[in-house]
Structure 1
Amino acid sequence: MPNTGANASPSRYRWLGLLGSLVLAAGALTSGALPAAATGPALRASGGAGTTLVFAGLTVLTAAWLLLGRAVDAPPADVPPTDIHAARRAARPSGTRWLAVTLGWWAAPLLLLPPLFSRDVYSYLAQGAMVAGGFDVYADGPAVLGGSVAQQVPQVWQHTPAPYGPGFLLLARAAAPLADHPYAGTLLLRLSAVLAVVALAALLPALARALGTDPAGALRLGALNPLVLLHLVAGAHNDAVPLALMLAGLLAATRRRPLLAAVLITLAALVKAPAALALPVAWWIAGRSDDTPGRGRRPRCAVAVLVAAAATTAAVTAAAGTGYGWVGALTTPATAGSWSPSTALGRLAADLLGVAPEGPVGAARLLGAVGAAVALGLLAARVVRRGSEPAAALALAFGALVALGPAFRPWYALWCVVPAAFAARAAGARRAAELACAALAFAVMPDGFGPDRAELVLAAGGLGIGVFAILLMERQITFQERQPVC
């Protein structure tokens, strides 16, 4: 990345990111995860120039995000070292408010698009229709519905049960009247995701202030992030809602409200189960903020948290009327064709041994699960024995769960990145998270399917166009900065 961006005005990169988002949106109109009426039974979008536009816009948007971070964090070149911290505060456009407005600018072109980078939102609509129609979503897949609703769902998910808790199914059932109108249904579910992203933009700085980290940095990494824009906003993934609920619960814990924290985090887990990892963290944070010895009220607090979590689970499950089948359906995302590091290792072992992949893949996934459990135990012990920051441990725990789990998708990384945004203190760790997010932004094709050779060529062309545009703009900035002031 050119070095000139460190001294450029952050406003330049706000406009550059908006340009990238607009170009991406234009390409998505023909290459995104369009309804079956526009794609036919294969559900593959036409691609073509749209794929090139998407990757050109994605390149510009991602580069603008990275360069914006450097421009905001870096002091002017002529500032003495002793004045660097003051200069950074003065040079920052308007802190969190300015960054929140930038998030709105970059998200706006994506709000009315068809789904992008995934067809999961169509599965959400089908599951809501199943609940409304009296089907058991934890035993059957969308195929039982038939008709246009099931037609939108890829074949791999046609016969698989829902992997989500009853909290999400209540939300999906509210969208059931629009299940036969996939575009309108997408907009409704995207609305819930966008509202959750707005909540993230408010909660991240608040948590950073409570924990003594940088609020603007937390907002930039946790919300003004290509993965958030691409997968929570454009893709309308249901990860947005539990992430927002989980952060609200952690904020309640920092304010000595463990019962409210338990209710909020349990609601998050009843949408997507991994959020339950935040329950012991909330208990520990709330207990630590009690009286000075810090441990006298923790046992009573633990009982209260467990009771609140159990009561919330029972109430939401009863309201949804779906029963507790979701507990057994948690492994649904791990199909035979799912990719993850552990799965890839198992398939490599099968190839080397010349055997069928089922056994080695199953063994590798089991080893991954054991490794994740060991990592969680070590992180918990580190917090208890050494007083490590529980919020940072939570980010690392999610990282272990995502990296060692049986299935990986780019938006899963947000479960690690979002808590790291307000918990990480080391600049190197934050920079590594930024670079990982930037790389993962390019991991999925616009229609959500794997690429063929022609699409890879189109994507590479778009990437090249985007890089050329960034280099051209950076060169222009350098030229302007070198001109003498008259």
Structure 2
Amino acid sequence: MLSPPSVSAYRLLGAVGATLLAVAGCGAGALPERGALWWTSLRHLDRPALLCGYAGLTLLTVAWWWAGSDLRRPAAGTAVGHPRFPGVPSAQLGNPWSGRTDRRGAAITLACWAGPLLLAPPLFSRDAYSYLAQGAMVLADLDVYQFGVAHLGGRLAAEVPQMWQHTPAPYGPVFLVLAAGVSALTGGHLALGVLALRVVALAGVALLVANLPRLARHGGVDPAAALWLGVLNPLVPLHLVAGAHNEAVMLGLLVVGLRLAVARRFAAATVLVTLAALVKVPALLGLLVVGALAVRRVGVRVAVARVAGVAVATGTAVTWATGIGYGWIGALGAPAYRHSWSISTALGRVARRSTEALGLDLGAAPMRAGVALGLLGVLAAAGAVWRYRHRLGPAYAVSLVLLAVALLGPATRPWYALWGLVLLAAAAPPGRARHVAALGAAVLAFVTLPSGFGPDAGQLLLATAGVLAGLVAVAVLRLLTPPPRLALAVPR
């Protein structure tokens, strides 16, 4: 087992970082336009708060990386190597290959790192305000797939950025029912509404903690390594918890569904994955994993018929029961709005500015061309994955396609990377892919300001100074802390 001082140390370091970030959010977070209890207490100190927030973010990320270093170090008395992957340490965040201890240890670590963020204002995005406003629209019997939150008006709608005021909801009826329940429960109270959304997100994260190790074992992956990369990475406490994003529910349902699929409970798996897609549509790709596993048992025709039939029946029944309608299918184009940012829309903007410099006005054509190139990139990635699907396995293959969609689609946000990262954590063997994914998660943790808006030059300088301050603090702590003594197991 890992030495308790090491585990306690990185848990404490991450908790300190998260606390700094939570306090900084009161000055530099996605604050409401009007005062809301303690949230706006440091609004006048937004610049120092930004520096403090990035220092805390650095401590949290270093704590996560430290946990990963301990994970890769062989534990005292532990065999160095797993039978599927010789030479790879099997040390866990607890007792090696114990399952229950892994989940408990990960849950405790995540509680230390995410707990301080629960009462902070929304961080890195204002989407939580949009969720509450869209839930209120459902309660008011307004069509969220035809109108934006401007049609609702009032306090909640005023907190949504102007660029998204007239954008229909791109979410499925399952999430909108949850959002409506939160709005009804909290009565439009902003702080209570955000807290309730975080409780819903925590339920999704709890499903990840409980089920990801079982999915990892099926693929021969170290369960603790899957938890470290898929659940404890900084994007989870920063965006799924602090940002209260609906990806938490989507991914929780998706992983439960895939865990049922590897247990050969294909009908239940199809229902859960379909429910995940009715939160957010990228989860629909999970049906490919269910189908691929079912094919091995019952053949192609029967598997396709059963999975498709159950998925359609589930979607129809849920849509009828919620009464929200099928408008979400047509509203899926909402993220392609001209204010969205991604690699493909960046190409479109470059093309537009280039043509304007030449005196040409092509309207929306350059942006559409950039988005089309991004979609072609997704198709190319899907084609490559299909070619090597037998070597990769269904879950790993789908994780790579989801990452391609997140990076090359018409809209990209740091938390979108979790679409593929969670499945990759449970399916990818040790090697370059896991290293690149871990490095990518660490980098993405820093690319968005706590306010959710883009930085100006001064904010960029303060953020850089905050990162340096965090690194200096870690270096000083390392110099002041004596190295732990290694306990050697004496064979009997």
User: Structure 1: which 5+ runs fail to align?
Assistant: 1-5, 291-295
Moved more, 45-54 or 203-212: 45-54
Paired residues for 1:130-145 under 5 Å: 130-145=137-152
Contact kept in structure 2, 1:169 and 1:320, CA below 8 Å: no
Tell me which of 364, 375, 381 is aligned to 2:370. 364
> Is 1:414 aligned to residue 418 of structure 2?
yes
Deviations 1:34-78 (A, max 9, x none): 222139xxx995522221121110000001101210122123799
Structure 2 residues without counterparts, runs of 5 or longer: 97-101, 487-492
The partner residue of 2:219 within 196, 211, 217 is 211
Q: Does 1:196 align with 2:204?
A: yes
Q: Does 1:310 align with 2:307?
A: no
In the alignment, structure 1 residue 254 sits paired with structure 2 residue 262? yes
Q: In the superposition, relative to structure 1, how do residues 81 and 203 fare at CA in structure 2: closer, same or farther (>3 Å)?
A: closer
Q: After superposition, what is the alpha-carbon deviation per residue over 1:198-219, rounded to whole angstroms, capped at 9, x for unaligned?
A: 1111111111112211100000
Which residue does 1:20 correspond to in 2?
A: 17
TM-score, normalised on structure 1? 0.90
Structure 1 residue 461: Cα displacement = 2.2
CA gap of 1:368–1:92, structure 2 versus 1, over 3 A, is closer
8 Å CA contact retained: 1:33, 1:45: no
1:166 aligns with 2:168: no
In the alignment, which of 426, 431, 436 is matched to residue 427 of structure 1? 431
Please tell me whether residue 441 in structure 1 is matched to residue 473 in structure 2.
Answer: no
- Relative to structure 2, which stretch is displaced further, 23-32 or 272-281? 23-32
Q: Deviations over 1:387-415 (max 9, x none)?
A: 53111101111011112101110000000
Equivalent residue letter for 1:257: R
Q: Indicate the larger mover: 44-53 or 236-245.
A: 44-53
Letter in 1 for 2:224: A
Letter aligned with residue 107 of structure 1: A
Aligned pair 1:327/2:319, yes or no? no
1:242 aligns with 2:242: no
Give 2:380's match in structure 1, choosing from 363, 374, 379: 374
Cα 1:91/1:104, change in 2 over 3 Å? closer
| Residue 476 (structure 2) aligns with | 472
Q: What is the aligned counterpart of 2:6 among 4, 9, 17?
A: 9
Paired residues of 2:80 and 2:89 also in contact (CA < 8 A)? no
Deviations 1:319-376 (A, max 9, x none): 2212111111101122212111111122223333324573222101112112212322
Distance 2:213 2:270 in 1: 21
Contact 1:253 1:261 in 2 (8 A): yes
Structure 1 window deviating more from structure 2 (177-186 vs 274-283): it is 177-186
Counterpart pick for 2:288 among 280, 285, 299? 280
Distance 2:32 2:169 in 1: 21
CA contact under 8 A between 1:45 and 1:447: conserved in structure 2?
no
> For the residues of structure 2 that align with 1:463 and 1:166, how far apart are their CA atoms?
40
Measured after TM superposition, the shift of residue 82 of structure 1 is 9.2
Corresponding letter in the other structure for 1:214: D
| C-alpha displacement of 1:108 | 1.0
**Equivalent residue, structure 1, for 2:99:** none
- The normalised TM-score by structure 2 is 0.89
Runs of 4+ in 1 over 6 A off after TM superposition: 76-87
Work out whether residues 261 and 269 of structure 2, in 8 Å CA contact, stay in contact via their aligned partners in 1: yes
Q: Is it true that 1:37 corresponds to 2:44 in the alignment?
A: no
Change (3 A) 1:480 1:254: closer
Q: Which amino acid aligns with 2:214?
A: A
Q: Report how many residues are paired.
A: 467
| Cα distance change of structure 1 residues 452 and 80 upon mapping to structure 2, 3 Å threshold | same
1:342 aligns with 2:344: yes
**Is 2:74 the partner of 1:70?**
no
Alignment partners' CA distance in 1, 2:435 and 2:69: 10
State the Cα deviation string for residues 295-315 of structure 1 (Å, max 9, x = none).
Answer: x53321221111111111111
Listed as ranges, the matches of 1:387-398 within 5 Å are: 388-398=392-402
Q: Is the 8 A contact 2:75 2:91 kept in 1?
A: no
CA 1:481 to 1:210, structure 2 compared with 1: closer, same or farther past 3 Å? Answer: closer
- Separation in 1 of the partners of 2:387 and 2:369? 27
Where 1:328 maps in the other structure, the secondary structure is: helix
Cα deviation, 1:214-250, whole Å, max 9, x if unaligned, reads: 1000001111110000000000001110101111111
Cα 1:94–1:404 shift into 2, 3 Å: same
User: Are the equivalent residues in 2 in contact too, given 1:392–1:420 (CA < 8 A)?
Assistant: yes
Report the alpha carbon displacement of residue 106 of structure 1 after superposing the two structures with TM: 1.1
Aligned-pair identity (%): 46
- Whole-Å separation in 2 of the counterparts to 1:348 and 1:311: 44
Greater alpha carbon shift after TM alignment, 91-100 vs 239-248: 91-100
Q: For residues 446 and 86 of structure 1, do their structure 2 counterparts lie closer, same or farther at Cα, with a shift above 3 Å needed?
A: same
Q: Give the distance between the partners of 1:82 and 1:170, measured in 2 at CA.
A: 47
